[in-house]
Amino acid sequence: MQHTFMAALAAAVCSTPLLAGPVNINTADAATLARELKGVGDAKAAAIIDYRQKHGPFRNVDELALVKGIGQKFIDKNRTDLRITNGAAPAPGKGAVSAATAPQKR
């Protein structure tokens, strides 16, 4: 009976999806972005990399909204897993850009 319980426990642990980890949006490659962030596939990951290469590093996570195909809903859904170069995510309300003052998409 104990063997059956241990087998069931092992199966449950192995089938539980891994939680996403923090992702530095200034250094992560496309595969990492696609794997770790909710709602990011190959196309969005490539768009993030392309934007970063053309415009330089992101200064805060809210600048992701400047990337075509990425909106505030995406940022809010992933905020706890997004990091910038210094390794720290902005605290809620810190480093955020309001819609009224956000830079327009280039």
Question: pTM for this one?
Answer: 0.63
Q: What is the pLDDT of residue 102?
A: 47
Q: Cα(46)–Cα(59) distance, rounded to whole angstroms?
A: 19
Q: What is the pLDDT of residue 85?
A: 76
Cβ count near 96 (within 10 Å): 16
Place of tokens 């897993």: 81
Q: Cα(101)–Cα(2) distance, rounded to whole angstroms?
A: 61
Q: What is the pLDDT of residue 42?
A: 96
Q: Cα(59)–Cα(90) distance, rounded to whole angstroms?
A: 10
pLDDT tens for each residue of 16-56: 345 557 999 999 999 999 999 999 999 999 999 999 999 99
For residue 14, give every residue at least 6 positions away whose Cβ sits within 8 Å of its Cβ, in sequence order, or none.
Answer: none
Mean pLDDT of the chain: 77
Annotation: CATH topology of 22-94: DNA polymerase; domain 1 (1.10.150)
Domain ranges of the chain: 22-94
